[in-house]
Structure 1
Amino acid sequence: MSTFDCKPGERPTRTGRTQPQADYRITLDGRDLSRLIAPNLVSLSLAESRADEADMLDLVIDDTQNTFAIPLRGANIAVSIGWVGEPLVDKGTFTVDQVEHSGAPDIITIKARSASMTNRMHERREKSWHRQTIGAIVQAIAARHGLKPTVDATLAQILIDHIDQTHESDMSFLTRVAKRYDAVMTVKTRHLLFLPIGGGKTASGKPLDVLPLTRASGDQHHYRIVERDSYAAVRAHYHSNGKAQRKSVAVGDEKARNTKVLPQDYATEAEARAAAQAEYARIQRQQATLSYTLALGRPELFPEMPVTVSGFKPEIDDTPWLVKKATHKLGSEGFTTELELEVRKDSKKKQGGATSGKH
C-alpha cells in the first residue's frame, strides 16, 4: 500500500506497529483525481504565507506510464489534506501557473498559486486616495476584483489624509498600506483580508485558540536570537499641517542612540506615529525566531495562529510564538509540517510611548 494511497487504513512499519497515514483530495477543474494520482504522487508541497505572498502549491507526479495529460495554465486545483480517519482540511483553490515535463523517468511538475490572487491584482494603476479610511480603500479595491472585503474594525476606521498609488499594482499598494499599520493583507477563498498581525482572531472575528506544541512532536528545530534591543526606538517624520516645518515622532526609548529612522516623510503626525509603531512592533517580533518541523503534519496550522512550545530551552519555552509561515509536505518521508515562528506581541513588555518634537 502506498504512503499516499487514499484508501482508509494505516501503514505497517517494519516493527509491525502502525502509524498514521496521510490522506488528501485533489481536484482539477472540479474533477476528483485523488485515486488516479495516489500511486503516482512523488511529492506535494503546500506553502501558506501571510502578506503579499501567494499560497503556493507544488505537485510532482510520476508519469512513466503516460497516465496524465499536461494541465493547462489557468486550470484550478483544489486541495484538502489531513490524515486517514480524520476530516480533511480544505486548503483552498490554486491556479496552475507553471508546468514542466521531464524525463526519463517521466515526471510532471506543477506549480500553482492561490486562485484568488488574480492577475489583475498585479496590474499597475494610477490613483490618488484623499481622506479615505482604510475600510473604504479596501472595500473599493475588493469590489474591483470581485472579492469580499474583511477588515479589522479598528483598522477600518483609520483615516489616511492622502496617499498616492503611482504606477503600482493593487496588491503592492495594499501591502504598503498594511505594512504602515503593522497589518497583514492577503486574499483567501475570494476574501480580501486586512487584519492586524498577531491579532489572534480569524477573518470572521472569532478568537484563535493558542495551540500547544511539544518537542516530542518534531524532529528538527532552529532557534535564533538577535542582539537584544538592536533598535531601541523608531522615529518617523511628518510636516505639520502641510507647512514646511518638519517634525518627528518616536516610539520606544527615544534617548537611545540606536534609533531607526524611517526614510519616508508622512502627511500627518498620526500617520507618522502609526508607521513608527508598526516598525517598532516588527523589530520586537524579529528579535527571536524559531523554525520547527513537525514529524506528523498538522494541516490545521496556518499563518497568524498563536502557538506555545515546550521541551526546549527555557528561553524558547517561555516565548509566546506566532506562525509566520506553514509549509505542509507529503512525500517519501511521510506528511510533515514546517513552521516559521516569530515572537508574539504579548511576549513583550509594554511598548514605549510615542513622543513628538521638531527634528
Structure 2
Amino acid sequence: MSLGFTPQVEVYGANAGLINARLIDWERVDAAGIESDRLHLTVDMTGLEGLPTFGGNIGIRVGYKESGLVDRGEYVVTRRTPHLFPPRMLIVATAAPFKVADETEFKARRSASYGPTTLGAIFRQLTTRHGFSPRISPELDALEVPHLDQSNETDMAFLTRIARQYDGVAKPVNELYVLARRGQLKSLSGKTVAPVTLSVTTNNSPGDASFINASVDEDARVKFKGCKTVWWDGASGKECIVETGSAPFEKVPQRHPDEAQAKAAGEGRLRKLQREALKVRIDAPGNPAFEAEGLVVLDGSWPSYMAGSWSIDRVTESGSRQQSYRAVIEASLPVG
C-alpha cells in the first residue's frame, strides 16, 4: 500500500482545537511490554494567559494526506509542564487509566493468597473488579496455579510480576486488560496485526524522505541455552531444580512453591533468552501499520544478517511542523 509523502496529524478530544492550532511536535510510544503507551505533545503557549484544562480524554490520528489518517487511540492527560521561554507546554498522556479519583482502588496495595486455581481465573478476578474487560491468551488462561501470594502489591504490579514469569504481557489499554505471551502476533487491543514489509531504496541516503537506517545488537557475552528454576518440596524439606533447555544454564534465583510453577517459569525465561539473543533498531519513515506485538519483515533488499522477520517490541513515532513523520522500531527475534 502506498503511504503518500505529506505527513498529517490530528488531535481530537479535550481542547483539540487549541492543540491542533498550536501543535509544535508530537511523539507516541507503543510498547509491547509492561510499559504503558504514552503520548507527548508540545504546544505553543504564546499569547495564552492561563493553562488549558483537560477534563476528558484526548486522542490522535496520524498518517499521510494521500493515504488518510489512522486512529492511534485515546489517552488520559497525566501531566502538563509549561515553560517560560520559549513559551510552550509539554502535555504527557498515558493509555493506562491513572486518575486522581480512584474509586476501585486500582492503585491500592493489597496482600492476598490465591489457589488452587488457574492463571486465567486470577486475572479475571483482579481485572473485572476495576471495570476492565479481560483478554487472555488460551495457553496462559489454562495454566494451573496451586498457590500464589500477592504481598503488599497493587493489582497491576502483581499481574505484571506474574506475567513476567511466563515472558508475558499484562497491560491495561483503555477499557481492556490484556494478558498474552510476548512476541505473539496480537496487538494489545486484541486484533490481529498484519506483518509490515520494509524495503531499502536503491538511493538510500540521509535527508531523503524514504531514508532507512538500522543496527543489529548481538550480546557478546556467553549465551545461555537453558535455565534452572527452583521449587520447594515441603514433603522432603529440600529445594528441587527444574532444568529447561540445555547447557549452559542460567540459574533463576526466585524459588517457586511447586514444580509446575517452576517449570512454567523456566519455559517463560527460556523464551525470553531466545527472543532477546538478537535485536534490531530501525529508523524509518512513519507507517501507521507499525504496531508493538506485530512483525516487521526486512525483505531481500536488506543485508542477509538483517533480512527476515522481527517481532516488534516498541515503536516510537514522532513528527513536527519542520520534520516528516518518522518511526523508530525496536524488535527482537520472534519465538514460537
Which TM class, normalised by the smaller chain length? 0.7 to 0.9
Kindly provide the CA deviation profile for residues 166-210 of structure 1, in whole angstroms up to 9, marking residues without a partner as x. 111111111111111121111113100001112223567665332
Give 1:160-199 correspondences, 5 Å limit: 160-199=145-184
CA–CA distance in structure 2, aligned partners of residues 80 and 221 of structure 1: 26
* Structure 1 equivalent of residue 205 of structure 2: none
Deviation at 1:65, TM superposition (A): 3.0
CA offsets, 1:327-359, max 9 Å, x none? 11011211111111111115xxxxxxxxxxxxx
Match of 2:249 in 1: 259
Question: Per-residue deviation at 1:276?
Answer: 0.9
Q: Residue 317 of structure 1 aligns to which amino acid in structure 2?
A: A
Structure 2 residue aligned with 1:15: none
Contact 1:201 1:207 in 2 (8 A): yes
Q: Does 1:321 align with 2:294?
A: no
Deviation at 1:229, TM superposition (A): 5.6
| Structure 1 partner of 2:110 | 125
> How far apart are the structure 1 equivalents of 2:92 and 2:191?
33
What is the aligned partner in structure 2 of residue 9 from structure 1? none
1:102 to 74, 77, 83: 83
In structure 1, what is the Cα distance between the partners aligned to 2:86 and 2:188? 44
Match of 2:268 in 1: 278
Q: How far off its partner does 1:240 sit?
A: 3.4
Distance 1:341 1:218 in 2: 19
Q: 1:313 to 1:95 in 2, by over 3 A?
A: same
The answer to whether the 8 A contact 1:228-1:287 is kept is no
How far 1:27 sits from its partner (Å)?
Answer: 2.4
- Select 1:43's aligned residue among 18, 25, 49: 25
1:198-236 deviation per Cα after TM superposition (whole angstroms, max 9, x unaligned)? 222356766533221123354332211123761121000
SS in 2 for 1:121: coil
Corresponding residue for residue 56 of structure 1: 38
**Contact residue 71 and residue 99 of structure 1 kept, 8 A:** no
Structure 2 unmatched ranges of 5 or more: 202-209
For 1:330, give the aligned amino acid: G
Structure 2: how far apart are the matches of 1:155 and 1:285? 18
Quote how far apart the aligned CAs of 1:115 are.
4.5
Q: Distance in 2 between matches of 1:154 and 1:94?
A: 30
Which string of whole-angstrom CA distances, capped at 9 and with x for unpartnered residues, describes residues 228-254 of structure 1? 76112100011236541321111111x
**CA RMSD in angstroms, aligned pairs only:** 2.3
In the TM superposition, what are the counterparts of 1:1-359 in structure 2 within 5 Å? 20-29=5-14, 32-33=16-17, 36-66=18-48, 69-72=50-53, 75-117=56-98, 120-202=105-187, 207-216=192-201, 217-227=210-220, 230-240=223-233, 242-253=235-246, 256=247, 258-295=248-285, 297-310=286-299, 311-318=301-308, 320-331=309-320, 332-346=322-336
Cα distance, 1:163 vs. partner? 1.0
Q: Do the aligned partners of residues 117 and 282 (structure 1) sit closer, same or farther apart at CA in structure 2, a change above 3 Å counting? A: farther
Q: Matched residues in 2 for 1:196 and 1:303: separation?
A: 13
Cα distance change on mapping 1:184 and 1:74 into 2, 3 Å: farther
Q: Which residue of 2 aligns with 1:354?
A: none
Q: Structure 1: 5+ residue runs without aligned partners?
A: 1-18, 347-359
| Equivalent residues of 2:33, 2:182 under 8 A apart | no
Question: Would the alpha carbon gap of residues 145 and 242 (structure 1) be closer, same or farther in structure 2, given more than 3 Å must change?
Answer: farther
In structure 1, C-alpha distance between the alignment counterparts of 2:140 and 2:77, rounded to whole Å: 33
AA at the equivalent of 1:109: L
Maintained 8 Å contact 2:293/2:313: yes
- Structure 2-normalised TM-score? 0.87
CA distance in 2, matches of 1:209, 1:171: 29
| Deviation digits for residues 239-282 of structure 1 (CA, Å, limit 9, x no counterpart) | 236541321111111xx3x3211111112212111111111111
The alignment of Structure 1 onto Structure 2 pairs a total of residues equal to: 319
Q: For 2:236 and 2:318, locate their aligned partners in 1 and report how far apart those are by CA, in whole Å.
A: 55
Indicate if the aligned counterparts of 2:11 and 2:20 stay in contact, CA closer than 8 A. no
SS at structure 1 position matched to 2:159:
helix
Task: Assess, with a 3 A threshold, how the Cα gap between structure 1 residues 226 and 115 changes in structure 2: closer, same or farther.
Answer: closer
- How far did 1:312 drift? 2.9
* CA deviation profile, 1:43-96 (whole Å, cap 9, x unmatched): 100111122211111111112132x85234664212222222434222222111
Residues 206 and 146 of structure 1, relative CA distance in 2, 3 Å threshold:
closer
Match of 2:34, SS state, is coil
Output the amino acid matched with 1:323: I
Give TM-score scaled by structure 1 length: 0.82
Paired residues of 1:73 and 1:98 also in contact (CA < 8 A)? no
Q: Give me the whole-angstrom Cα distance separating, in 2, the residues matched to 1:87 and 1:115.
A: 27
Distance 1:203 1:103, change over 3 A: closer
Aligned letter for 1:62? D
